[in-house]
Amino acid sequence: MDKFVIEGPTPLKGEIAISGSKNAALPLMAASILGNGPSTLHLIPKLRDIYTFNNVIRVTGTKVEFHEAENKLVIDPTHLSHTEAPYDLVRKMRASFYMLGALVGRTGQAKVSLPGGCAWGPRPVDLHLKGMEAMGINIDLDEGYVYASIDGDDVEGGEFTLDPSSVGATINLVLAAVKRAKKFVIKNAAKEPDVVLLCNMLVKMGADIEGIGTDTLTVRKADELRGVEMSNDPDRIETGTYMIAAAMHPESDLTLTGCKPEDLGTFPKHFKKLGVDYSVDGTTIRIRSKEKINPVSVKTEIYPGFPTDLQAQWATLMTQADGESKITDTIYFDRFSYVPELNRLGAKLKVEKNRVTVNGKTELSGASVMSTDLRASVSLVMAGMAAEGTTEVLRVYHLDRGYENLEDKLNSVGASIKRVSEE
């Protein structure tokens, strides 16, 4: 098991290229098995979750080739013959549950293990299953597996309202419906860029989907989908993370390339309130930090609101703001495992229910801290880069699930991060 040893403080100066989005790539990979031939996906990041999902897909008999040097993935489902996604793979990553919609959409049946993933918060799959039942798909649960099947070649469809709105459930229902449902309407559908990109790929493959980008999606059955070539989106959470990391350090001057600023939703509006210099030129974002940053309170919301996946990073940034701020998470109520770890570094954070209050500015000092999930981990790395002295961040395997070449990218712009074995 690896850990990071970080020397700080280090302002960030230079240029970082943004990688492809993991959260957008995984649905595209699932969609690829619906085609009648190979699909080629570009801008796929080299991440643990991508490798895991490659193996989940391979179990079905689908051929998967990852051309790592080109960040290109070729998925050929021509010989797909096995309709199971087993526990030993699905338990490693919740997004593997997309195989339920993809397999029942492809073959009319699926056996998929209930999912695993980060060790925080309830993320029930009830919405996925209830939505499929509303579509006319038979759903049975037995010994930790979901069995999905349809009678005949298609189902009538119908209508289902997601309450609350869910990215994962929207994706799974679309995957299940495109080849099987005569007409299926998803209300309160997620509008995240990941959902829009998936729907656009499916339409390119030959699917019939109305309302893309809105909260009502209408899917009508397509008899056949073809393999296509598709480019993934840049990672908006990685973009926001590096913007925040730069803002934490006086004297930072960081340029991010290959971004998709329009996917950031309302995040830039909050970022501008910090008082740092922030400019956008096409797909390039530049951040020049200031000696003093303003405290800015935020509340996470579904897209295009402030992302829950940037909540921990924002709280870390607020330790360096002059004054009190509050961060409220309305998506997940218990996503604050990073708080005691930041306090070990000298921060002053207090959690009450789904809100953390941050009293800044505090001087951070190096210590040994433990990461518990993906976004908590990167917030501790950011804190270590702002702290005086040496910080050890343990269990960085979480980071390898979601940030491509994190330490290499940060070291290239001035950070001092070494990956070493905890043993």
The tokens for 331 are 């998506």
Side by side, which strands form the sheet with 155-161? 155-161, 181-187, 216-220, 208-210
Q: Which of 163, 156, 133, 127 is nearest to 219 (CA)?
A: 156
331 has binding-site annotation: yes
CA distance 317 to 308: 15
For residues 143 and 43, the model is more confident at: 43
CA distance 411 to 423: 23
CATH 3.65.10.10 fits domain 22-231: yes
86 has binding-site annotation: no
Q: Which amino acid is at 195?
A: V
Q: What is the mean pLDDT of residues 325-344?
A: 93
Residue 120: the pLDDT is 37
Q: Are the C-beta atoms of residues 78 and 116 closer than 8 Å to each other?
A: no
CA distance 16 to 410: 8
375 has binding-site annotation: no
Residue percentage of the chain with pLDDT more than 70: 98
Q: What is the mean pLDDT of residues 267-280?
A: 97
Exactly one of 89, 103, 118, 417 is catalytic; which is it?
118
CATH code assigned to 2-19+234-421: 3.65.10.10
27 has binding-site annotation: no
What letter does residue 53 receive in the DSSP assignment? H
344 Cβ contact partners less than 8 Å away, ≥ 6 residues apart = 367, 368, 369
Domain with CATH 3.65.10.10 in the chain: 2-19+234-421, 22-231
Residue 121: the pLDDT is 44
Residue 116: the pLDDT is 54
The pTM assigned to this predicted structure is 0.94
CA 126: distance to chain centroid? Answer: 20
Q: What is the mean pLDDT of residues 415-422?
A: 94
Q: Are the C-beta atoms of residues 257 and 17 closer than 8 Å to each other?
A: yes
Residue 333: the pLDDT is 81
Residue 118: the pLDDT is 43
23 has binding-site annotation: yes
Tokens 């998470």 found at = 329
CA distance 123 to 329: 15
| 118 assigned to active site | yes
